Amino acid sequence: MKRIAILALGLLYWNVLAAQTKSKTVSAKEKQWKLAVKATTKRMDNALVKQDLNTFVKTTYPKVVENTEGGTDKIVADLKKQLAGMEAQDNKIVGAWTGDPTNFVDTAGELQCTIPQYMKIQLSNGMLTTQTTLMGFSPDQGKTWYFIDATDKPLDAWRKMFPNISSKLVLKPAPQPKFVPNAHK
């Protein structure tokens, strides 16, 4: 009986050790994926603020570009028009950054995740800070990442457009933008 108890404890210890090792391996992979996502979103956010729209569009999920009539040129032209419209109203994007990616899912060899994205927009009467959700996609196990701003549609609508999008992704509703009025002098 004592031998069985020792054997059971040994097996339990072995299973705990194996689970911890597996957990550390997953964590190491996720850490690499997070670093790659953060590097790409930083490049994307900087490109948006600097209005380097060709670089910005290179981070757009290729299936979005493929499904846009006119492709990259049309997307760049539309973005230029939107930014010019903002500037005509004395508004300008002055900052963009992302939080940590979460919810990594492997769907048929394509990694997917969600990432909170924040933007500061200088308005004529103050500063507006917004938060949206990006969906991230990696066709090569986390080396290269592409993104979609997912805020304007629920996950089901995105899945109708792109059936490969995992139902396990979580798209949180965007919180209300925060407005801080200019200080009066």
Task: Give the tens place of pLDDT for each residue, 86-114.
Answer: 999 999 999 999 999 988 999 989 999 99
- Measured distance CA(29)–CA(24) in Å, rounded: 9
Residue 49 counted as domain residue: yes
* Domain span at 121: 30-181
Question: What pLDDT sits at residue 125?
Answer: 95
Output the CA torsion 156→158→160→165 (10° steps).
-90
DSSP classification of residue 183: P
As beta bridge partners, residue 116 has 133
Residue 111 counted as domain residue: yes
Residue 46 counted as domain residue: yes
The gap from C-alpha 109 to its chain's centroid, in whole angstroms, comes to 18
Number of domains composing the chain = 1
The structure tokens listed for 54 are 């060709």
Residue 169 counted as domain residue: yes
Residue 59 counted as domain residue: yes
Q: Please give the single-letter amino acid code of residue 27.
A: S
Residue 171 counted as domain residue: yes
Residue 62 counted as domain residue: yes
Residue 6 counted as domain residue: no
pLDDT by residue for the chain (185 residues), tens only, comes to 555 545 444 444 444 444 444 444 557 889 999 999 999 999 999 999 999 999 999 999 999 999 999 999 999 999 999 999 999 999 999 999 999 998 899 998 999 999 999 999 999 999 999 999 999 999 999 999 999 999 889 999 999 999 999 999 999 889 999 999 998 75
Please report, in angstroms and rounded to a whole number, the separation of the first and last CA atoms in the chain: 84
